Chain A
């Protein structure tokens, strides 16, 4: 086993990667909106810990700034905003019915295997000891996309979108020691603006069609049935 040859902090990073994948699966399975947001905050926390550890392993202390940014945005600010939104939209008590959770979970497991298969040649290009986690981060991105597809409530879809960005950030951290700071800040601001716009958008959708069920947007079609 190669893992036995890694140092303890590197093993902790691998364990954190596996826990991040678990949190993606948990996001798929959550039915209530506030536990969904809490799980998303947990995923952000795990990524923060992994980034801090990578900063110390690789000695690249600029990762600590990215880590701090992640902590502020992904663990406190965006979940806080989502919670406020949920309270103001009065959808706190709503429970979403997920069509057939077991099939969705099995498909997600298949996605993990598929991303492993896709990441095999990419893995050869990295020289880091934690390069095995590229497959995991790709899987997190794909599972985030699956979440957007399989959910009907708009808030859940936004959380899926955010977790895609989590996956991308994690991929950058563990495979290349972080992106250039400019790209980093740019992405972070994009996500922030997206969150604010989503909030505004939700109110508009709600006032137009009376609910946040995105399947109801089908009624906006021009074609006569």
Chain B
């Protein structure tokens, strides 16, 4: 067993390489190109090591512990690498490695900027190192330390382009909510630590809490991890922060940082807390469904490409939480196999979302770099200018819309299968609510497909809408390679689901006690989560079937002997003359029917200013988040009012301040006595 402790050493190497990638390039600040290459090289090594170590820990189902000699004197940092941590380490490492391929070409434009790329490389390394440490942490202290490192480093990355006030505002909101989330996590760990004899996870796992305290700990953890994961109504920072960061950082934040929050939630609830009740599961299920539906509805109305992708992250986190909620409900009612199925569905979706969301953000970054445009309404016809990016982006769009044969479909299919086992529950009410949640999942899937038809159609197809777009070309090799690798992964995890499910089986065995044994009953070709008679999906055969029928139809219609010329002519224009780019559908026009049907969801301000003296007529459409007005503005006003009342303490009078010191002294003397 020479791999014993090997995985831990590899994981520690990954962390070390990430931290080195933060520090070492600083020495070369006079040579920015070397600096960027070096930092991304070390980051790439770190990513490879993490995915290798994590993957091995997952497949071999080992669990290793180590206690490092650093930290507080009575509380050393202990790390643990078990299948759950290994899986998430694999995800983070893979996306980091591909970001390292993509990065050097992308940040070339920042080299000549005001600050240079020094802050960018330092904080990227710290951010990635922080994420790895969160996944490996085995006691509350090191977990929170790494968590705060991750949050603060990502704040500096978000605020990197600080010249614009809206970027600063977005970063401020992000930092504020990250800190509030951290406070809730402190409370959650505090509750657990109060009942156990130490801060290590092993001690907390062994602790027993009364149901009330368990619910309190669960609530704190749900809010704390939810703030970082981005569930509704705690999601408002996501669409502000993700668009303003550089694109490879947006991919890292959206693709893997949210998954680290999901990891934390799973670890806390399934691993440490135990004693899950079905009410918790229902709360998680309802919040997940609401996030999924609201996330996709908000995404449909955006026309800033990166903000749209950020709202889709809210939607996908909602889908993951639906899977987790189902798992908790079935676990609490003693249906362990189905709980394992739902948990595997949620974990699979974590992997899939990391892959296709990063792919989409990298594509958006390529478009941004080439055309300097954020706004979809100004793009168009890019498929002819950027064919490689367009193909990879298409694969990303198909995957996120949960269409076969790519990976997004498999995790949604597994979630549906878990939801369809709802009637097995004795309670009729739960048995009725779960299919309704599944119908909401179906609604989000269809709406996501609608949204990505809009995105791909407006951005890549049709005619270019502005002259700047016509200058765009495919980005350089590193960026193309990153996207191609992710596209291949999306296809691979879609065609080999049975193998992936079997690989993931170690996690439910560790957390719930039971794995999904029936998934590969009929061999690796067919995925049968419950049984072959209940449902079966043969992904390789489906892929093969599509290709074969395509080939047959193509051959039948193209016999070489026939004359099958193709004539190129202008598109049909009703005889009115040449068409121009303004006659195409715009993004707002495409989404208009859905906007009218679901108009109660958003806060819509729609105005038409008629033409006046010297100005043209204008149409203004603004879509705002209702939750911001309902929830956050009142809280903000309350905080300001409290702060204003409290500021009366600072009277400005010297004698009043001396009074404060005097009475504090009297009070302390009395306490000592």
Direct contact of A and B (CB under 8 A): yes
Give A contacts to B, CB under 8 Å: 100, 103, 113, 116-117, 120
Q: Could you list 7 A-B pairs, sorted by A, with CB under 8 Å?
A: A100-B600, A113-B432, A116-B428, A116-B429, A117-B428, A117-B429, A120-B428
Residues of B within 8 A of A103 (CB): 600
Residues of B within 8 A of A117 (CB): 428-429
Contact with A along B425-455 (1 / 0, CB 8 A): 0001100110000000000000000000000
Shortest distance between the CB of B90 and any CB in chain A (Å): 41
- Judging by beta carbons under 8 Å apart, are A113 and B600 in contact? no
* Complex alpha-carbon distance, A117 and B429, angstroms: 7
Instruction: Beyond A113-B429, A113-B433, A120-B428, list 8 extra A-B contacts (CB 8 Å).
Output: A100-B600, A103-B600, A113-B432, A116-B428, A116-B429, A116-B432, A117-B428, A117-B429
Residues of B within 8 A of A113 (CB): 429, 432-433
Shortest distance between the CB of A103 and any CB in chain B (Å): 7
Shortest distance between the CB of A77 and any CB in chain B (Å): 38
Shortest distance between the CB of B486 and any CB in chain A (Å): 39
Closest 7 A/B residue pairs (Cβ): A117-B429, A113-B432, A113-B429, A100-B600, A116-B428, A116-B429, A103-B600
| Contacting residues of chain B (386-445) with chain A, CB-CB under 8 angstroms | 428-429, 432-433
Number of interface residues of B (CB under 8 A): 5
Residues of A within 8 A of B432 (CB): 113, 116
Residues of B within 8 A of A120 (CB): 428
Shortest distance between the CB of B285 and any CB in chain A (Å): 15
Shortest distance between the CB of A150 and any CB in chain B (Å): 15
Closest chain B residue to A116 by CB distance?
B428
Shortest distance between the CB of B533 and any CB in chain A (Å): 18
| Contacting residues of chain B (96-121) with chain A, CB-CB under 8 angstroms | none
* Complex alpha-carbon distance, A100 and B428, angstroms: 29
| Contacting residues of chain B (233-266) with chain A, CB-CB under 8 angstroms | none
* Complex alpha-carbon distance, A117 and B428, angstroms: 8
* Complex alpha-carbon distance, A116 and B430, angstroms: 12
* Complex alpha-carbon distance, A120 and B429, angstroms: 10
Closest chain A residue to B436 by CB distance?
A109
| Contacting residues of chain B (430-485) with chain A, CB-CB under 8 angstroms | 432-433
Closest chain B residue to A109 by CB distance?
B436
Residues of A within 8 A of B428 (CB): 116-117, 120
* Complex alpha-carbon distance, A33 and B55, angstroms: 66
Closest chain A residue to B597 by CB distance?
A102
Closest chain B residue to A135 by CB distance?
B428
Shortest distance between the CB of B473 and any CB in chain A (Å): 47
Shortest distance between the CB of A37 and any CB in chain B (Å): 29
Contact with A along B368-397 (1 / 0, CB 8 A): 000000000000000000000000000000
Residues of A within 8 A of B433 (CB): 113
Shortest distance between the CB of B93 and any CB in chain A (Å): 44
Residues of A within 8 A of B600 (CB): 100, 103
* Complex alpha-carbon distance, A100 and B429, angstroms: 26
Contact with A along B306-345 (1 / 0, CB 8 A): 0000000000000000000000000000000000000000
Closest chain B residue to A100 by CB distance?
B600
* Complex alpha-carbon distance, A191 and B600, angstroms: 39
Shortest distance between the CB of A193 and any CB in chain B (Å): 40
* Complex alpha-carbon distance, A113 and B428, angstroms: 9
Closest chain A residue to B598 by CB distance?
A102
* Complex alpha-carbon distance, A117 and B427, angstroms: 9
Shortest distance between the CB of B300 and any CB in chain A (Å): 17
Shortest distance between the CB of B563 and any CB in chain A (Å): 55
